[in-house]
């Protein structure tokens, strides 16, 4: 480069703090022109941060001298234009800065390594030439419905303008086999494949299935990689680089993997697309499912959204013809879905139902299965022993001093634990208020259920799986193995055990207390409950060779509720139709579009004052701003949480509103010093 050449101005996406108001890429000076997508290190304030040279023209030559780029990661090929488009879109849509988002989704270790250190790691990952002849993997013959689905996906692969595909298949209908075939077709066409799953726990199972299938096709190390937050920083960087360099042909991951750099991406699969874990719950609150659809559209590649209980958003898209629906109605091997028995709690003697979740008829049913040597699953969505400890003398209850919530009694380690702020104390031996020794747990959690089952069914091998039993690394795997190996008679747990696991031996599933969600203030609660129960039921009878019918037992006080009636017939279509009709008449999503503004402060008044002022900032007749209300759990760790809903009939209208509103909120926040945190959640899942 000639000595007196003027330095180039480059735009760099860098994670500037939100309050600085620096939301777009920043200008820096560089001795050489840098291609967009190049990873760099740049100074910001007194720090030096990872940044990405961003597409688009730099601003006019500045008055002040620009700070120079500190280092260039020359050994790594630049991120693709498509990756930058994805980030630009996501940042704009979810109202975050592109630099913040880039920094959040790139592997953390990139921030720490120097360009030289990184270059050394890389070198190992050079792409190998494809082999000439590859043996075909061994695979089962497809069932007729599977064959149609695979054919349609292949047709979309070949088409230049594919539509998103909704793979609507009951549990056990062989959706994964469809993903495998679709992946095979894309791999054979020389493309990379991205498969998203909702839970880290489900990645090893899926990885094993894909690795087994593609062992011959993809024998090179790192041809199949996973991406999720439980990897070590070094593994995550290695796998990310493998995807970026094209070494990895198949990437399996959780929501963050939607941002993987995959220059030859040709197919995206989103398994269990309805699952709420696809929505990020802090920072940039993106929906990986929605971004997968956007990314596929942008790249003109197919995206397959699979579920037995699709989100009502996706279902409505299929109804309206925006998505192509592929249906797998039959279980592989002809196994019937479990018979659903709605057990009417009102039929019990007046007091029996209140005191125990383990009703006598349920116990009898469990005993029957036990005597036949069959496995059962009992499901309750509350961990711990009992949700509250109570004094009968003075009515003291174990509330959390820092939250508007009860502290849960955990019997095993004799603690009272707040599931919101983590505040934990030893259980008092007497009522802290009046000294009465007779304090008792009310209600029930998985721990108590486990204890009751063990007492009521001597000799039964009872295993509990929930967040408490699986804290240590490896515990969950060991516990799942015991279930698969038939070393467990009754499995007790939270929704953790209802997801995805291909339990072959379970023939009886019981939901002991699911009614709560029917009366939640959150309009999505019934949708979530239905999906959860269908999924829990799907764990039963996956092996059709059993002699007895598989059964799902649902204890309820509201037997005639439409949700349970649809469940009893495994009738998702009916349920979705009813729910969508309700949503339409109430103008709720997917027939309207929502954003939530949240604010947290030491006092509810301060949080509300901010929200009220925010509501006053803008008028738009196409956008409805509701009055502020407290969060369902209003106080957590001594912080009051308020929220305010913003609604528009059109997505574009809401987006236009947010584009002006959010910068104004940044300014407003400076006047509201008492507000600790605020955030905008676009398309919020939990209201
Ligand atoms: P889903 O994901 O829809 O719940 P899976 O893909 O896990 O269902 O399939 C259920 C079971 O059926 C799995 O054990 C799978 O190996 C098996 N399976 C799937 N497709 C076929 C097929 N075409 N022939 C034989 N077995 C199959
Ligand atoms: Zn008392
Ligand atoms: Zn608390």
Peptide bond into 590 cis (omega under 30): yes
Q: Is the CB of 176 under 6 A from ligand 1?
A: yes
Q: Is the CB of 504 under 6 A from ligand 1?
A: no
Cα 145 to averaged position of ligand 1 atoms, centre (Å): 12
Distance CA 613, CA 661 (A): 12
Q: Is the CB of 146 under 6 A from ligand 1?
A: yes
Whether 239 and 225 have beta carbons less than 8 Å apart is answered as yes
Ligand nearest to the CA of 636: 3
> Closest residue (by CA) to atom 10 of ligand 1?
172
pLDDT category at 3 given cuts 50, 70, 90 is very low
Beta-carbon contacts of 124 under 8 Å, excluding residues fewer than 6 positions away, are: none
Ligand nearest to the CA of 390: 2
Q: Is the CB of 142 under 6 A from ligand 1?
A: yes
Q: What is the atom index within ligand 1 of the atom nearest the CA of 169?
A: 3
Q: What is the atom index within ligand 1 of the atom nearest the CA of 143?
A: 23
Percent helix, strand, coil in the chain (nearest 5)?
35, 20, 40
Q: Which residues are annotated as a binding site for Zn(2+)?
A: 391, 394, 400, 403, 418, 421, 431, 434
Count, residues in the chain: 687
Q: Which residue from 575, 496, 578 is spatially nearest to 532, judged by alpha carbons?
A: 496
| Residue 172 confidence (pLDDT) | 85
Ligand nearest to the CA of 435: 2
ipTM (interface predicted TM)? 0.96
Residue 130, pLDDT > 60, answer no
What's the rounded mean pLDDT across residues 243-266? Answer: 96
Beta-carbon contacts of 35 under 8 Å, excluding residues fewer than 6 positions away, are: 53, 78
Q: Is the CB of 543 under 6 A from ligand 1?
A: no
Ligand nearest to the CA of 425: 3
Q: Bridge partners of 41?
A: 50, 71
Cα 47 to averaged position of ligand 3 atoms, centre (Å): 35
> Closest residue (by CA) to atom 19 of ligand 1?
174
Q: Quick one: what percent of the chain has pLDDT higher than 70? A: 94
Mutate to test the pocket of ligand 1, among 306, 330, 332, 498 (most ligand atoms within 8 A of CB): 332
| Residue 1 confidence (pLDDT) | 41
| Residue 470 confidence (pLDDT) | 87
Question: Using one digit for the tens of pLDDT, what is the confidence trace for 491-537?
Answer: 999 988 887 677 878 899 999 989 988 888 889 999 999 999 998 88
Q: Is the CB of 174 under 6 A from ligand 1?
A: yes
Other beta carbons less than 10 A from residue 303's beta carbon: 27
| Residue 496 confidence (pLDDT) | 84
| Residue 2 confidence (pLDDT) | 45
| Residue 353 confidence (pLDDT) | 46
> Closest residue (by CA) to atom 20 of ligand 1?
174
Cα 492 to averaged position of ligand 1 atoms, centre (Å): 25
What's the rounded mean pLDDT across residues 617-642? Answer: 95
**Could you tell me the end-to-end alpha-carbon distance of the chain, in angstroms, rounded to an integer?**
57
Cα 431 to averaged position of ligand 2 atoms, centre (Å): 5
Distance CA 537, CA 551 (A): 8
What's the rounded mean pLDDT across residues 107-119? Answer: 83
Question: Using one digit for the tens of pLDDT, what is the confidence trace for 417-461?
Answer: 999 999 999 999 999 999 999 899 988 899 999 999 999 999 999
Residue 122, pLDDT > 90, answer no
- Which has more pLDDT, 675 or 161? 675
Beta-carbon contacts of 519 under 8 Å, excluding residues fewer than 6 positions away, are: none
Residue 148, pLDDT > 90, answer yes
Mutate to test the pocket of ligand 1, among 149, 168, 174, 330 (most ligand atoms within 8 A of CB): 174
Question: Using one digit for the tens of pLDDT, what is the confidence trace for 67-82?
Answer: 999 999 988 999 999 9
Distance CA 516, CA 132 (A): 58
Beta-carbon contacts of 40 under 8 Å, excluding residues fewer than 6 positions away, are: 10, 12, 28, 34, 50, 51, 52, 53, 69, 70, 71, 72, 73
Q: CA torsion sign, 461 to 465 to 470 to 471? A: negative
pLDDT category at 355 given cuts 50, 70, 90 is low
> Closest residue (by CA) to atom 5 of ligand 1?
174
Ligand nearest to the CA of 174: 1
Ligand nearest to the CA of 394: 2
Cα 530 to averaged position of ligand 1 atoms, centre (Å): 23
The string of DSSP letters for 435-487 reads: --S-EEEES--HHHHHHHHHHHSTT--EEEESTTTT-STTHHHHHHHHHHTT-
Q: Is the CB of 140 under 6 A from ligand 1?
A: yes
Q: Is the CB of 456 under 6 A from ligand 1?
A: no
Q: Is the CB of 172 under 6 A from ligand 1?
A: yes
Q: Phi and psi (nearest 5°) for 94?
A: -95, 10
Question: Using one digit for the tens of pLDDT, what is the confidence trace for 221-250?
Answer: 899 999 998 899 999 999 999 999 999 999
Beta-carbon contacts of 678 under 8 Å, excluding residues fewer than 6 positions away, are: 597, 598, 599, 600, 610, 665, 669
Distance CA 576, CA 507 (A): 27
Q: What is the atom index within ligand 1 of the atom nearest the CA of 141?
A: 23
pLDDT category at 671 given cuts 50, 70, 90 is very high
Q: Which residue from 373, 329, 331, 333 is spatially nearest to 545, judged by alpha carbons?
A: 333
| Residue 349 confidence (pLDDT) | 78
Q: Is the CB of 177 under 6 A from ligand 1?
A: yes
Whether 409 and 395 have beta carbons less than 8 Å apart is answered as no
3-state secondary structure 332-374: HHHCCCCEEEEEEHHHCCCCHHHHCCCCHHHHHHHHHHHHCCC
What's the rounded mean pLDDT across residues 197-204? Answer: 84
Cα 402 to averaged position of ligand 2 atoms, centre (Å): 20
Cα 402 to averaged position of ligand 3 atoms, centre (Å): 5
Residue 534 sits at the vertex; the CA angle it makes with 532 and 536, to the nearest 5 degrees, is: 65
Q: Is the CB of 307 under 6 A from ligand 1?
A: no
Cα 432 to averaged position of ligand 2 atoms, centre (Å): 7
Q: Which residues are annotated as a binding site?
A: 391, 394, 400, 403, 418, 421, 431, 434
Beta strands in 228-365 (DSSP E): 250-253, 265-270, 303-307, 324-328, 339-344
Cα 330 to averaged position of ligand 3 atoms, centre (Å): 46
| Residue 546 confidence (pLDDT) | 60
Cα 90 to averaged position of ligand 2 atoms, centre (Å): 53
What's the rounded mean pLDDT across residues 283-308? Answer: 97
Cα 641 to averaged position of ligand 3 atoms, centre (Å): 13
Residue 494 sits at the vertex; the CA angle it makes with 493 and 497, to the nearest 5 degrees, is: 70
Q: Which two tokens stand for residue 183?
A: 């992946």
Beta-carbon contacts of 390 under 8 Å, excluding residues fewer than 6 positions away, are: 396, 397, 398, 439, 440, 441, 442
């Amino acid at each position: 480069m000639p000595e007196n050449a003027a330095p180039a101005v480059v735009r760099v996406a860098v994670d500037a703090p939100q309050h600085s108001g620096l939301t777009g890429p920043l200008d820096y000076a560089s001795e050489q022109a840098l291609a967009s997508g190049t990873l760099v290190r740049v100074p910001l304030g007194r720090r030096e941060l990872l940044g990405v040279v961003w597409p688009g023209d730099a601003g006019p030559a500045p008055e002040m001298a620009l700070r120079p780029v500190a280092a260039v990661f020359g050994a790594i090929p630049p991120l693709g234009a498509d990756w930058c488009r994805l980030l630009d879109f996501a940042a704009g849509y979810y109202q975050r800065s592109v630099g913040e988002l880039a920094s959040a989704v790139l592997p953390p270790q990139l921030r720490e390594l120097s360009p030289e250190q990184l270059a050394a790691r890389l070198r190992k990952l050079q792409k190998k030439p494809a082999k000439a002849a590859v043996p075909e993997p061994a695979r089962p013959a497809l069932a007729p419905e599977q064959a149609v689905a695979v054919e349609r996906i292949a047709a979309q692969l070949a088409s230049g303008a594919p539509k998103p595909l909704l793979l609507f298949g009951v549990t056990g209908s062989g959706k994964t086999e469809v993903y495998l075939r679709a992946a095979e077709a894309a791999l054979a066409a020389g493309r990379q494949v991205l498969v998203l799953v909702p839970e880290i726990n489900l990645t090893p199972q899926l990885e094993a299935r894909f690795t087994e299938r593609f062992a011959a096709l993809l024998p090179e190390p790192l041809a199949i990689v996973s991406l999720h937050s439980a990897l070590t920083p070094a593994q995550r960087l290695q796998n990310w680089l493998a995807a970026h360099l094209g070494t990895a042909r198949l990437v399996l991951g959780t929501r963050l993997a939607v941002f993987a750099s995959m220059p030859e991406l040709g197919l995206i699969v989103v398994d269990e697309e309805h699952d709420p874990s696809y929505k990020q719950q802090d920072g940039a609150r993106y929906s990986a499912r929605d971004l997968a659809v956007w990314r596929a559209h942008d790249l003109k590649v197919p995206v397959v959204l699979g579920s037995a209980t699709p989100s009502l958003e996706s279902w409505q898209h299929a109804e309206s013809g925006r998505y192509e629906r592929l249906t797998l109605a039959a279980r592989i091997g002809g196994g019937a879905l479990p018979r659903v028995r709605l057990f009417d709690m009102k039929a019990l003697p007046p007091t029996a139902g209140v005191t125990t979740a383990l009703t006598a008829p349920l116990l009898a049913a469990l005993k029957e299965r036990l005597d036949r040597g069959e496995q059962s699953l009992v499901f309750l969505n509350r961990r711990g022993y009992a949700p509250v400890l109570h004094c009968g003398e003075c009515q003291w209850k174990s509330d959390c001093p820092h939250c508007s919530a009860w502290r849960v009694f955990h019997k095993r380690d004799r603690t009272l634990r707040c599931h919101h702020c983590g505040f934990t104390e030893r259980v008092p031996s007497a009522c802290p208020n009046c000294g009465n020794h007779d304090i008792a747990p009310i209600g029930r959690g998985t721990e108590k259920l486990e204890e009751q089952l063990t007492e009521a069914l001597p000799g039964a091998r009872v295993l509990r799986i929930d967040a408490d039993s699986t804290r240590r690394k490896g515990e969950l795997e060991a516990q799942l193995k015991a279930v698969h190996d038939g070393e467990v008679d009754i499995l007790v747990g939270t929704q953790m055990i209802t997801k995805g696991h291909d339990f072959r031996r379970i023939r009886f599933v019981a939901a002991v207390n699911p009614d709560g969600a029917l009366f939640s203030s959150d309009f999505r609660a019934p949708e979530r409950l239905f999906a959860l129960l269908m999924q829990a039921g799907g764990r039963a009878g996956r092996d059709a060779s059993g002699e007895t019918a598989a059964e799902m037992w649902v204890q309820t006080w509201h037997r005639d509720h439409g949700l349970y009636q649809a469940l009893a017939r495994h009738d998702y279509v009916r349920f979705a139709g009813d729910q969508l009709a309700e949503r339409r008449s109430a103008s709720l999503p997917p027939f309207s579009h929502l954003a939530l503004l949240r604010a947290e402060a030491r006092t509810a008044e301060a949080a509300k004052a901010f929200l009220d002022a925010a509501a006053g900032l803008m008028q738009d007749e196409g956008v409805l701003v509701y009055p502020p209300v407290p969060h369902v759990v209003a106080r957590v760790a001594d912080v009051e949480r308020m929220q305010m809903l913003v609604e528009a009939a059109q997505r574009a209208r809401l987006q236009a509103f947010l584009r002006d509103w959010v910068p104004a909120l940044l300014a407003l926040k400076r006047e509201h010093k008492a507000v600790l945190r605020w955030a905008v959640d676009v398309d919020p899942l939990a209201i």
